[in-house]
Amino acid sequence: MNPQKVLIITYYWPPAGGPGVQRWLKFVKYLPEFGIEPIVYCPENPNYPIIDKSLVNEVPKAITILKQPIKEPYQLASFFSKKSSKKISSGVIPKAKKQSLIERLMLYVRGNFFIPDARKNWIKPSVTFLSKYIEKHQIETIITTGPPHSLHVIGLQLKQKLRVKWITDFRDPWTTIGYHKALKLSKASAQKHLHLESQVLNSADSIIVTSNHTKNEFSTKTRQPISVITNGYDNHSVRVEGKDEKFTLSHIGSLLSERNPKILWEVLSELISENEAFSKAFQLNLIGVVSDDVLESIHNSDLKNHVNRVGYVSHDEAIKYQMASRLLLLIEIDSEDTKAIIPGKLFEYLISETPILAIGPEDSDVQQIITKTNTGVYFNYHQKETLKTQILSYFDAYLSNNLNVHAIGLQPYSRKALTKRLSEVIKESL
């Protein structure tokens, strides 16, 4: 029996770095084991804010990869302000009162002239190219993954034009995502986003989301079937000699302006001031992009001498930091909207054999996963004293060489198990 061909339309693909590329890179790796032949369509000349060339080695050799040129406004915007363009394209949006004139202008233009997003100019040429390819190669199923949500519009137009089954994969929500509110949208522009979102949700044959909160939100907007398939972890061969000598608390990934846990900085500052042993042993590792607002808060809390600012590293290097650290830090914005966000790094944290210290909105999907898997402790932004007590407890365990984690129930989050669920959704859509 010949494998079923599925066309996957994605913006992020190696050498892109960051969590956006990991999801479908791993799905593509395992789909052939479930009788599905993935064909990937991605940009030929994208403006990726983060590059990780090591991920190119993980792309399966046997799969077909289609590429077409893309024109992006960030390439033009960089002529005016390369720094601001790179910040905004990577999602680092300064607080409104700290935005420069050029940043405010770029956000207004991005939000109101590029709907649904800055990749809108790729829609028309992609539909033209893919229409011919789909008919020629008798593709029955297409999958679009976003953000960027322009790719869902590509799927929408292909669905309207051809007799093809269409599955949408929402790695994040659309109109309720935090950065959406920072785009300085006019009422007309906001309405256009809502209209496009509604069209996509009600035209797709099946919808995939990464969290239960997003499923609940979309269930109020469409009657189409919705499946929750989270991100996950994959087996790796990375090894470290042992845990760090210092009492390291490591955050891997972007710390954006709104993802700024001042409650944590205050607690750490107090512990350093009150506990000499803690002061000598503690180190905060920041691995990834960190906004100026977050750095300012850290420095204002007199933590500067305890910070190891590493910057962006390759995926393998990030895993090494996870495995060697004494504690792993997971931060989400204190907002109703962010309860649905499950960072991809959480699942790699789960298998790192390192306790997770998480801070975010109450009753989030992240809180449920950490609690269910017994991999750490989760706090909201109003639990300063219990947060302080927990960190001190972790430090005491570190001093006695007894800081461990005993994870349970991780197998459902393996990339292979998740791909099996994806294959079932694909087959159900036919």
State pLDDT tens for residues 400-413.
Answer: 999 999 999 999 99
Is 242 inside a domain boundary? no
User: Given this model, what pLDDT does residue 82 score?
Assistant: 47
3-class secondary structure, 307? strand
User: Given this model, what pLDDT does residue 90 score?
Assistant: 46
Does one domain contain both 73 and 142? yes
User: Given this model, what pLDDT does residue 50 score?
Assistant: 86
Residues 350 and 373 sit within 8 Å (Cβ to Cβ): yes
Does one domain contain both 217 and 283? no
Structural element, H or E, at residue 247: strand 247-252
- pTM, 2 dp: 0.88
Does one domain contain both 178 and 269? no
133 pLDDT band (50/70/90 cuts)?
A: very high
Question: pLDDT tens for residues 211-260?
Answer: 999 999 999 999 999 999 999 999 888 888 899 999 999 999 889 888 89
Residues 42 and 77 sit within 8 Å (Cβ to Cβ): no
Does one domain contain both 180 and 264? no
Is 408 inside a domain boundary? no
Output 20 or 23, whichever has higher pLDDT: 23
Phi/psi at 107 (5° precision): -65, -40
Is 407 inside a domain boundary? no
Q: Specify the range with the lowest mean pLDDT, choosing from 62-71, 120-129, 177-186, 347-356.
A: 177-186
User: Given this model, what pLDDT does residue 102 score?
Assistant: 66
3-class secondary structure, 208? strand
Is 156 inside a domain boundary? yes
| Inter-CA distances, 51 with 60, 79, 117, Å | 19, 20, 21
- Is residue 346's pLDDT more than 80? yes
Domain of residue 183: give its range: 4-232+415-428
Does one domain contain both 141 and 260? no
Instruction: Classify residue 180 as left (phi > 0), alpha (psi -120 to 50) or beta.
Output: alpha
Does one domain contain both 162 and 117? yes
Is 280 inside a domain boundary? yes
Is 307 inside a domain boundary? yes
Does one domain contain both 54 and 170? yes
Does one domain contain both 64 and 188? yes
Pick from 260, 265, 262: which is nearest to 333 by CA?
Answer: 260
Does one domain contain both 421 and 346? no
Is 237 inside a domain boundary? no
Average pLDDT value for residue range 343-351: 93
Place of tokens 């189409």: 224
Question: How many independent structural domains does the chain possess?
Answer: 2
Does one domain contain both 60 and 160? yes
Average pLDDT value for residue range 257-270: 94
**Segments of 278-413 assigned E as strands:** 282-287, 307-309, 327-331, 356-359, 376-379
User: Given this model, what pLDDT does residue 85 score?
Assistant: 42
Output 335 or 419, whichever has higher pLDDT: 419
Does one domain contain both 304 and 227? no
Does one domain contain both 10 and 142? yes
Output 311 or 200, whichever has higher pLDDT: 200
- Is residue 83's pLDDT more than 80? no
Token pair belonging to 299? 């420095």
76 pLDDT band (50/70/90 cuts)?
A: very low
179 pLDDT band (50/70/90 cuts)?
A: low
d(Cα 208, Cα 413) in Å, to the nearest integer? 16
Q: Please report, for the domain that includes residue 171, its CATH number.
A: 3.40.50.2000
Is 239 inside a domain boundary? no
User: Given this model, what pLDDT does residue 220 score?
Assistant: 97
112 pLDDT band (50/70/90 cuts)?
A: confident
